[in-house]
Structure 1
Amino acid sequence: MSVEKKMAQEPCCSKLKMFLAAMCFVYFAKAFQGGYMKSSITQIERRFDIPSSLIGFIDGSFEIGNLLVIAFVSYFGAKLHRPRLIGAGCLIMAMGSFITAAPHFFQGLYKYETTVSHFSASNGTESILPCLTNGSLAQDEIPTVEIQAECEKAASSSLWLYVFLGNMLRGVGETPVMPLGLSYLDDFSREENTALYMALIQTVGIMGPMFGFMLGSFCAKLYVDIGAVDLDTISINHKDSRWVGAWWLGFLLTGGVMLLAGIPFWFLPKSLPKQGETESEKKFNEGEQDCFIPDNNKHSNAPDKPAPVTMAALAKDFLPSLKKLFSNQIYLLLVCTAFVQVNGFIGMITFKPKFMEQIYGQSASKAIFFIGIMNLPAVALGIVTGGFIMKKFKLNVLGATKICIGTSLLAFFTMLIQYFLQCDNTQVPGLTLSYQGVPQVSYQQNTLISPCNMGCSCSLKHWDPICASNGLTYASPCLAGCQSSTGDGKNMVFHNCTCVGDSPFPYANMSAVLGQCPRKSDCDYMFKVYMAVTVIGAFLSACGATPGYIILLRSINPELKSLALGIYTLIVRTLGGIPPPVYFGAFIDRTCLKWGTKQCGGRGACRIYDSGAFRNAFLGLIYGLYSLSYILWGVVYIRLSHREKKLALKNQLKAPEQDGNGVSAGNGNASSAIVKCGENADQETTI
């Protein structure tokens, strides 16, 4: 029967296509969750006043959840009802999102650090002097008993553990989706359609992070306690490094979407007929897989039904299967290559919004929005392009490897260009330049003191930036030497700032307004070039995604497919997902110039970084990891080339023997089964 006739017999709404549609939706939903989590990293860091290394550990809890169950789910799940296991995973992921949002409902109102409350005017007239000569403001250095007690009761001191737990539950629930879903699809679809189906799933899935980042951008503009406070009394806006958006709101929405995504899997069958296969072909192929040779004796003693598989038997066969899997050297090389590349990717995507915020002066919400609206669609287009190339040219494993290496190298060149797309540091006297206007980076807080503010008894711990008329950002009104202020809330203006008058920069008057000064105009142009380069790099890198999956699937024994995908996911997410946010965050923390202060006086989240050191640490780690991955890709290509040559030589030697074996036409089915089983055995030995 021709392929066209088989396609005609296949219903338009077959169960395989229903499973494909359900997989697309669940990939979207889990990516929607993951994208929103990544976009909320900065908001969570500020809300709980924790350093980047700790927020990196919280972000890595997703992979910790995977680590706990993925080996067992991948092996035992392949023998059980795979769709229902995926449905159960969706339910767990939804619960994880709801738990992540829970701390907001137990915390008190967010209180950002500020000294403005000491001298805000109630009627818009001139108020108390910001620069206090009697030293009363220095009391901020030592928390009062009331503030200390309030700090000890603050929910933010420990409730970040709920975020950790919720994210870990999401990791547990996500475990069955990839290994069981892709193996189920590969088992019951045509071989030539597998690459296209995977590309379709990944393409729909990549829309999830796009919507997740856009939702994150929207929530980042909403104040964390929206509906509970009068926003007119808030003296900061969403561009301020102390601003915390409504991070909790998005987790409630993503949890609801995940609940819906899991419903179809409860109604799908355990197994399906092979796509385009008739009943007689299905029965014969089952006979082939068991190496069954037809016999003239029809009264065979073979049982009509296979013996039921018990969990004990599955457990007994687990270690031998694992040993067979790890004896495949190509598989091990692919795993090592993947986890090195994932290290670079996870570290990059986790802190990319912060990179854009600190290097190019973008607000957190704007940085998140640009990633979602520009980079992620480029990734989706790249995945589709990679799948189309695989199907169009019918590339083998070696051809897929060439695509992966080529596109990855081109993407790496775009990352090298990013190093030269830099902006100057934010000009903050005492931190990035002296009060005399000389550029100098200082990590010491005592450099914030200058003769122009020495008599003001200013607190050095607080970050309460103002933008002066000379274009400089001062760490606080007191450190700018401001003598008076008018207005209140966001409209407060400071006057007679002595440090502004002493600076060598031209100024219209000695006044200042709340907030940091905007970056120079050339920085906006540099940011546009940076975004264009990252979009091109994202497209090129994504072109190798589908070929990479095909290389993995075609390099393992079909019987071990689910286990191989599960172990692959386990190792890659454990070694490639958990450590990077932690050590990337630790390196980034070393470049912090000004730490925030908690209510009890402890160190909070970082407010401003040395942009040059930040860029060196962030991009340097990415360059090192990707360079190592290309060395491993070279080894993979060499091993695959040797394997392809051996297979070609073996097929040439087998061809004359099969043509002259004198098998009669009546035993054609039997001989076909023998040849098929022989080929499977050869493949297993080669692998």
Structure 2
Amino acid sequence: MALSKITWFFIVFGTVYFLESIGGFYMTSAVVFIEKQFQIPSRLSGTMVSAGDFAYIPVVIFTSYFGGKGNRARWIGAGCILISIANFMIASSNFLFPVEQANVTTFIPSTLAHQIDRNLVNGDLNSTEHQWLEQLHPLIDPKNQVVMNYEGDEKADLLQKYVEYCYYNNGSQICENLERHISEKFPITDAKMSNVRAMVALPYGFCHSMLNFVRSQHYACKSDQSTLGPFMMIFGGLLVLGVGRTMPFSLGLPLMDDNVKKQNLPLYFSFMFFVKILGPVIGLLVGGQLNKLYVDFNPPQGLTPLDPMWIGCWWLGFLIFGTLLFGPSLVLYFFPSDDLDINAPEEFDEEGNVKPRKRLNLVDRHIKKDEQGNALMPETVMDKVNDFKETITDLLKNKIFVGAMFGRIIDVLAFKGYFVFQAKYLELQFGVPQYRIQRYIASTGIVGFACGVMLGSFSMKFFKLQGRKAAAWVAVCSLVAALISFANGTVGCKSVIGQIGDQIKVNGPVFDGCRDDCMCDSTPLYPVCDVSGNAYYSPCHAGCAMGWKNYSIFDNAKANVDALIFENCACVENRVKEVSRSYCQTDVCEERFGRFFMHQAFGAVFGGLGVVPGMLIVLRAVPPAHRSVSLGFNGFLVSLLATLPSPIIWGKIIDMSCLLWQKACDSSGSCSVYDTDELRVRRMIETSFYSDYRLHVIYGCLRIFSLISDVWVWYWASGLKLIEEETPEEKEKEEAEKLKPKRKESIKEAAEKVEKTAYELDQLIDQRGS
């Protein structure tokens, strides 16, 4: 059986909408590697990522206005073709601005070759080199001022002494000769470089000044190439993507509204929102897999995805999504404009006459059209401007629309930034790794929200939510979600990060004065604990010498990092001079972490329950001809007043609790240690009064503040029809469809009876004749 034209259209539209939602979120998994490949600083990458919103905000109103008066399928197809082209533009920056592949011997500058000690070079000096070094001793250190205590054989100790001198006197002729001699005698092979890379790439640091200096050079702010070309190419691609993104949603919902049964509309809307929610999850999963590949499929020897210098194959995802999206978008763009569905099955009325076929309304059926079915548009530019102004004025005079739009702005302002920084907050609060947090967010937050959207659509149809009843439903769901947010504020835990933060609040810089010679400033945060449970910023800050009790970096087997034990830690006050992550107590935080996500799941479900009724309130509150413009204008203000500023506001709120800033390029970089209590506990007034939950109180208060708009909408929503009831003709048609099988059976039975009667008459005549 051939599919109807309407069915084919929704298959193509659903495919395009699904691919667009996946590709739109992929950029978040690629931005880190774009920064590394093109040496783009974070302040520029943040501006670059926002390019989509910069283009979306001024364009969305006009595309929804003009697109709503034209062939909406063609407009949506054109928008998705633009998104496909944007993906190709972003990916092309990898080929138009190639970065020279770093040689394995250049990852550590040659001027630092002499700083690789015996643990890394793993070589011995023979007597000839020993004698040569002894002759250099009076020249390098005539007063024997370089005094360092090193364990090991005498020759290696002597070499290490001169290496230490040249570290502080880099550039002298003697040190250059020494460096050249050692480099020639002990060349840095790939295997040795792999060992160096492995040590520097470790997520923790030791109390070892040479190695920590090498680590700092990895992140030195040096770049000899211009970032303008790739930056402008990617920025331009994201601008084009923002323009294309204005069309699928603002035109797609009214298009669906015109072509499905009104009583089934909530189910179709819930499916669209479900796809919109599922897209980011798939986009992140695909990004995670592709970024395991190196950017040119040929990684330097010894470089692995665990290395901080690894650059994932970020551009491949843009090529894949752009290619997959282009074909269906082209089909949608050229979808037949003759809206008569010739493949639909014929239907007959009671008199046996053929009923008119169903029509696919690609042009809004509520706007004025000419005899050929084309939308009537103002002729001159000024007439179009005046008509546009009148449309926007009508929307702003609509009390229900304005109230619903205000509530959505507040909700997005609360939710967007809160969601962006939620994973970071949970890691700090409960000490749980990011991969588990992302998994829990996907399984409870996103899936819970999607289930809420589906349940909300079924509830609308089951309870027949109309007007005030639907507005009250939205208000109650929003209130419950806000209250659950307050409940989440009571769930906290003193994680290891929290313990380190408490030490900083009392003592200032972490372990100031203990092994200042370790150069721990460049070491990353890697919390460890001693056997008593006392927390340390890293093994370096605990004064641990380079080495492990139960592992060697040169072993082939991978270590369980949580089970690593660092020994010879000078800053540990216990008798056992050891630290390890396994010594940190996490049982209490694990239990509370699960409780937090139980609340999160319920809050997500209640948040999703009000989505479909809320969107239908916006659509039904405005004249049918203004639906696309209302969605576009709504998207414009939400993006301008909520989507753009929300992450900035929430980032500022979180940074207000920072206790220790990392240094980047001689200035403050990212924050490494937060006051975890302050993240929950926010001083509300400059007195001794404190609220018990900081982030959650702000989030919850914003959600409750949006209840004002829900009450406003409820007040004015009396008599508003969201789901149109079936007309008498539609009911009669459904009844006729139900009776068709019965009528066929009755006709068949009657025919059988007639045939039987005729047969009996024939038999009777034959008997009389005989």
| 1:25 counterpart = 2:15 | yes
Aligned counterpart for 2:707 among listed residues 617, 630, 641? 630
SS of the residue corresponding to residue 493 of structure 2 reads: coil
**1:188-587 aligned within 5 A:** 188-218=259-289, 227-230=298-301, 250-270=317-337, 272=339, 278-279=355-356, 309=377, 312=380, 313-427=383-497, 431-434=500-503, 440=505, 447-454=509-516, 456=517, 458-463=519-524, 465=526, 467=528, 469-470=530-531, 471=533, 474-485=536-547, 487-488=552-553, 494-500=566-572, 502=573, 509-512=576-579, 520-587=586-653
Q: How many residues align?
A: 601
SS of equivalent residue, structure 1 residue 121: helix
The one-letter amino acid of 1:375's match is: G
1:174 paired residue number: 245
Residues 27-55 of structure 1 show CA distances to partners (whole Å, capped at 9, x for unaligned) of: 32232234444566777789899999877
The aligned amino acid for 2:255 is Y
In structure 2, what is the Cα distance between the partners aligned to 1:360 and 1:145? 29
> Whose Rg is larger?
2
Segment of structure 1 superposing worse, 337-346 or 273-282: 273-282
Q: Quick one: distance in 2 between partners of 1:595 and 1:51?
A: 17
Counterpart in 2 of 1:683? none
Distance 1:383 1:289, change over 3 A: closer
Q: Deviations over 1:121-160 (max 9, x none)?
A: 3449989999999895879999999989971336789966
SS at the partner of 1:485?
coil
The secondary structure found in structure 2 opposite 1:228 is coil
Write the distance in 2 (CA, Å) between the matches of 1:522 and 1:163.
Answer: 45
Distance 1:463 1:46, change over 3 A: farther
Q: Distance in 1 between matches of 2:26 and 2:585?
A: 28
Question: In 2 relative to 1, CA 630–522 (structure 1 residues): closer, same or farther, beyond 3 Å?
Answer: same
Residue 407 of structure 1 contacts residue 544 of structure 1 at CA under 8 Å; is this kept in 2? Answer: yes
Which residue in the other structure is 2:727 paired with? none
After TM superposition, the score normalised by the length of structure 1 is 0.73
Q: How far, CA to CA, are the matches of 2:393 and 2:264 in structure 1?
A: 31
Amino acid at match of 1:345: F
**CA–CA separation in structure 2 for the residues paired with 1:381 and 1:174:** 25
Q: The residue matched to 1:529 in structure 2 has which SS?
A: helix
Three-state SS of the structure 1 residue aligned to 2:223 is helix
Tell me, what secondary structure is at the counterpart of 2:619? Answer: helix
Deviation at 1:555, TM superposition (A): 0.4
Offset at residue 367 of structure 1 (A): 2.5
1:454-488 deviations in Å (ceiling 9; x for gaps)? 4x252435426363543555445443223443643
Residues 220 and 245 in structure 1, CA contact (< 8 A), matched pair in contact too: yes
Cα displacement string for residues 296-338 of structure 1 (whole angstroms, at most 9, x for unaligned residues): xxxxxx9898897466354442222222222212211111111
What amino acid does structure 1 have at the position aligned with 2:627? Answer: K
Q: Report the Cα offset of residue 245 of structure 1.
A: 6.6
Shift of 1:64: 2.1
Q: Is the 8 A contact 1:217 1:366 kept in 2?
A: no
SS in 1 for 2:636: helix
- % identical equivalent positions: 26
- Structure 1 CA distance, aligned partners of 2:579 and 2:670? 25
Structure-2 change in CA distance of 1:591 and 1:521 (3 Å): same
Instruction: For residues 241-276 of structure 1, give each alpha carbon's deviation from its aligned partner in whole angstroms, at most 9, with x where no partner exists.
Output: x99876555444444443344243123234736999
1:425-479 per-residue CA deviation (whole Å, 9 max, x = no partner) reads 42588x5244xxxx8467x5xx22434324x252435426363543555445443
Q: State the one-letter code of the partner of 1:269.
A: P
Distance apart, 1:70 and its partner CA: 0.8
Read off the aligned partner of 1:637 and give its amino acid letter. W
Within 2, Cα distance between the matches of 1:604 and 1:226?
31
Q: CA 1:556/1:393 → structure 2, altered by over 3 Å: closer, same or farther?
A: same
Gaps of 5+ in 2: 125-150, 169-207, 348-354, 682-693, 722-770
Gaps of at least 5 residues in structure 1 are 1-10, 293-301, 646-687
Shift of 1:177: 0.7
Q: Secondary structure at the match of 1:62?
A: helix
> Alpha-carbon deviation of 1:497?
1.4
1:613 equivalent in alignment to 2:690: no
**Structure 1 residue 218, shift from structure 2 partner:** 4.5
Q: 1:523-572 CA deviation, whole Å, 9 max, x = no partner?
A: 22222222222122111211111111110111001121211111111111
Distance change (3 Å), C-alpha of 1:364 and 1:66: same
CA drift of 1:499 comes to 0.6
In the TM superposition, what is the alpha-carbon distance from 1:576 to its structure 2 partner? 1.8
Q: Which amino acid counterpart does residue 406 of structure 2 have in structure 1? A: C
Q: Report the Cα distance in structure 1 between the residues aligned to 2:372 and 2:501, rounded to whole angstroms.
A: 81
Structure 2: how far apart are the matches of 1:453 and 1:307?
A: 78
> 1:353: how far off?
2.5
Q: Distance in 2 between matches of 1:595 and 1:225?
A: 34
Letter in 1 for 2:625: E
Q: Quick check: 1:87–1:266 contact (8 Å CA) kept in 2? A: yes
Distance 1:176 1:226 in 2: 36
For the Cα contact (< 8 Å) 2:213–2:519, is it kept in 1? Answer: no
Distance 1:247 1:473, change over 3 A: farther
Task: Map 1:42-57 onto structure 2 (within 5 A).
Answer: none
The 1-side partners of 2:234 and 2:250 are apart by 26
8 Å CA contact retained: 1:143, 1:601: no
Contact 1:63 1:578 in 2 (8 A): yes
Where do residues 7-26 of structure 1 align in structure 2 (5 Å cutoff)?
A: 13-26=3-16
Say if 2:449 and 2:605, in contact at 8 Å, map to a contact too.
yes
* 1:597 Cα deviation after fit: 4.2
- On the 8 A contact 1:140/1:459 being kept in 2, the answer is no
Comparing 392-401 with 475-484, greater Cα deviation is found at: 475-484
Name which structure has the greater RCO, CA cutoff 8 Å, separation 6+.
1
Output the amino acid matched with 2:519.
Answer: C
Q: CA deviation at 1:365?
A: 3.2
* Amino acid across the alignment from 2:13: M
CA distance in 1, matches of 2:378, 2:587: 69
Contact 2:657 2:678 in 1 (8 A): yes
- Summarize the Cα distance change of 1:306–1:610 in structure 2 as closer, same or farther, 3 Å threshold: closer
- Does the Cα contact within 8 Å between 2:526 and 2:537 map onto a contact in 1? yes
CA distance in 1, matches of 2:229, 2:597: 37
Which SS does the other structure have where 2:703 is aligned?
helix
Measured in 1, the distance between the counterparts of 2:514 and 2:373 equals: 92
